[in-house]
């Protein structure tokens, strides 16, 4: 069995190769290691292998890990799961990024609860395949939400995040990524702080990078299968 360090290395190699083949700079795609459900000891192994950006989906679990790993310098913690308004304070106080903003109320609470010295980086989550089971806004709701976020002093609008439907065939998946890329380009033209298009997971990172992703969120391919 491969170690976490080996799997991390091969994920980075896939990113580099794919970016290269698509005529993109290899540093134009960031790797977010999604450590949800995995123990702190696994995160330490990834950290020792050079990884700094970590993604968590559950508030309580994420905050416990951030606190346990406070001694690790240079880490960057991204909240990527659904966020209810009664949990925003913990997220605002502990995370560096929230990628799953899907309504103004949540953004407003995070802005109010953020410690003023350092803005919270946020992405708007887009429900790009219009799925009942997924959070996120529709394409035509990006603009008003971005406008609201841009006026909040303790938030920095960094971009868009999406989780495509996992039943799509390859052509439909690519079309979905292209739609996201177009929405991202439009947003970027309006807001200079926007630099992040977060799309691509273990199963579809290649197609995502070929279609403009600037951040892939990889769990299984680094930490192995999850039990829950």
Ligand X SMILES: *Cc1c(COP(=O)(O)O)cnc(C)c1O
Footprint of ligand X (CB under 6 A): 34, 36, 57, 80, 163, 201-203, 217-221
Alpha carbons 209 and 191: distance in angstroms, whole number: 22
Burial class, 162, CB count within 10 angstroms (exposed 0-12 / middle 13-18 / buried 19+): buried
Query: Least separation, in Å, of the C-beta of 201 and ligand X?
Result: 4
Among positive and negative, which fits the CA dihedral 113, 85, 102, 151?
A: negative
Query: Least separation, in Å, of the C-beta of 218 and ligand X?
Result: 5
Residue nearest to ligand X as judged by C-beta position: 219
Query: Least separation, in Å, of the C-beta of 118 and ligand X?
Result: 23
Of 100 and 111, nearer to ligand X (C-beta) is: 100
C-beta of residue 208 within 8 angstroms of C-beta of residue 199: yes
Query: Least separation, in Å, of the C-beta of 153 and ligand X?
Result: 27
Residue 41 contacts by C-beta under 8 Å, 6 or more apart in sequence? none
Of 57 and 71, nearer to ligand X (C-beta) is: 57
Of 17 and 147, nearer to ligand X (C-beta) is: 17
Tokens of 75: 């880490």
Query: Least separation, in Å, of the C-beta of 71 and ligand X?
Result: 26
Of 182 and 220, nearer to ligand X (C-beta) is: 220
Of 114 and 217, nearer to ligand X (C-beta) is: 217
Alpha helical stretches, state H, the chain: 4-21, 40-48, 59-68, 88-94, 104-113, 142-150, 170-190, 205-210, 220-223
Query: Least separation, in Å, of the C-beta of 168 and ligand X?
Result: 15
Residue 187 contacts by C-beta under 8 Å, 6 or more apart in sequence? 142, 146, 159, 160, 194
Distances, alpha carbon 7 to alpha carbons 10, 46, 51, 62, 94, in Å: 5, 9, 12, 22, 28
Of 73 and 170, nearer to ligand X (C-beta) is: 170
């Amino acid at each position: 069995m491969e170690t976490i360090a080996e799997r991390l290395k091969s994920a980075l190699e896939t990113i580099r190769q794919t970016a290269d083949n698509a005529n993109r700079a290899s540093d134009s795609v960031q790797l977010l290691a999604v450590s949800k459900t995995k123990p702190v000891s696994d995160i330490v192994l990834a950290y020792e292998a050079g990884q700094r950006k970590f993604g968590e989906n559950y508030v309580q679990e994420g905050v416990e890990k951030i606190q346990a790993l406070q001694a690790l310098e240079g880490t960057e913690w991204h909240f990527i799961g659904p966020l209810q308004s009664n949990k925003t304070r913990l997220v605002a106080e502990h995370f560096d990024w929230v990628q799953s903003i899907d309504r103004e109320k949540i953004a407003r609470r995070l802005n109010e609860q953020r410690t003023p010295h350092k803005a919270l980086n946020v992405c708007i989550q887009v429900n790009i395949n219009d799925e009942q089971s997924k959070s996120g806004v529709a394409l035509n709701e990006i603009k008003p939400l971005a406008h609201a976020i841009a006026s909040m002093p303790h938030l920095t609008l960094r971009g868009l995040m999406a989780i495509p439907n996992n039943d799509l065939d390859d052509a439909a998946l690519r079309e979905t990524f292209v739609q996201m890329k177009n929405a991202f380009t439009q947003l970027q033209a309006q807001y200079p702080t926007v630099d992040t298009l977060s799309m691509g997971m273990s199963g579809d990172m290649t197609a995502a990078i070929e279609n403009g992703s600037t951040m892939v969120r990889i769990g299984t391919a680094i930490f192995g299968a999850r039990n829950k």
